[in-house]
Structure 1
Amino acid sequence: MDLRDLEAFIAVAEELHFGRAAARLHMAQPPLSNRITQLENEFRLKLFQRTTRNVRLTDAGERLLGPARRAVNQAASVRELATAIASGEEGRVRIGFAGASSQRVLPLLTRAVRAAHPGIDLVLQSQTYVYRAFDLLVAGDLDLAFVRIPVARPELSYRVVEVEQVLCALPTGHRLADRDSVRLEDLIDEDFVSLPEDSGSMLRLTMYSMCMSAGFRPKITQVAPDSSTVLALVAAGAGVTITLSSVCQAQSVGIVYKPVEGAEPSHLFPALAWRTDNTSPALQRVLAVGEAALPTPDLDSYGSDMNN
Structure 2
Amino acid sequence: MERRDVEIFLALTEELHFGRTARRLHVSQARVSQSIKQLERRIGAALFERNSRRVELTSIGRRLADDIRPGYELIRDGVERAIAAGRGLAEPLRVGFSSPLAGELVLFAASAYRERHPAAGEVLLHETPLSDPFGLLRSGELDLLLAQFPVVEPDLATGPVLISDTRVLAVSTRHPFAKRPSVRVDDLARDKVLSLSGPVPDYWLDHLLPRTTPAGRPVERGERAATRQELLALVGAGRGVHPAAAHEVRYYARPNIAYVPIDDAPPLEYGLVWRAAADTGRIRAFAEAAVETVRRQGGPGDVCAECR
TM-score (normalised: structure 1)? 0.55
Aligned to 1:65: none
Question: Superposition pairs for residues 143-292 of structure 1, below 5 Å?
Answer: 143-153=143-153, 156-200=157-201, 204-209=205-210, 211=212, 214-221=216-223, 223-226=225-228, 228-254=229-255, 255-263=257-265, 266-275=266-275, 278-292=278-292
Q: 1:103 to 1:178 in 2, by over 3 A?
A: farther
Say whether the 8 Å CA contact 1:131–1:201 is kept in structure 2: no
Q: 1:172 to 1:223 in 2, by over 3 A?
A: same
Comparing 137-146 with 102-111, greater Cα deviation is found at 137-146
Say whether the 8 Å CA contact 2:193–2:220 is kept in structure 1: yes
Structure 1: which amino acid aligns with 2:122? Answer: D
Cα deviations across residues 93-141 of structure 1 (Å, max 9, x unaligned)? 23232134524323322344456647513343422559843x7657766
Q: 1:172 to 1:117 in 2, by over 3 A?
A: farther
Structure 2: which amino acid aligns with 1:292? Answer: E
Structure 1 residue 165, shift from structure 2 partner: 1.0
Q: 1:223 to 1:181 in 2, by over 3 A?
A: same
Aligned to 2:27: none
Q: 1:152 to 1:235 in 2, by over 3 A?
A: same
2:169 aligns to what SS in structure 1?
strand
Aligned to 1:90: 90
1:216 aligns to what SS in structure 2?
coil
Structure 1: which amino acid aligns with 2:262? Answer: V
Count of matched residue pairs = 215
> Partners of 2:99 and 2:188 in 1: how far apart?
25
2:175 aligns to what SS in structure 1?
coil
Structure 1 residue 153, shift from structure 2 partner: 4.5
> Partners of 1:291 and 1:130 in 2: how far apart?
27
Cα deviations across residues 137-193 of structure 1 (Å, max 9, x unaligned)? 577664221123334356624111011112211122321112222134434342433
Q: 1:237 to 1:106 in 2, by over 3 A?
A: farther
TM-score (normalised: structure 2)? 0.55
1:91 aligns to what SS in structure 2?
coil
Structure 2: which amino acid aligns with 1:120? Answer: G
Segments of structure 1 that go 5 or more residues without pairing to the other structure are 1-82, 301-308
Q: Report % sequence identity.
A: 22
1:239 aligns to what SS in structure 2?
coil
Aligned to 1:60: none
> Partners of 2:226 and 2:138 in 1: how far apart?
27
Say whether the 8 Å CA contact 1:184–1:211 is kept in structure 2: no
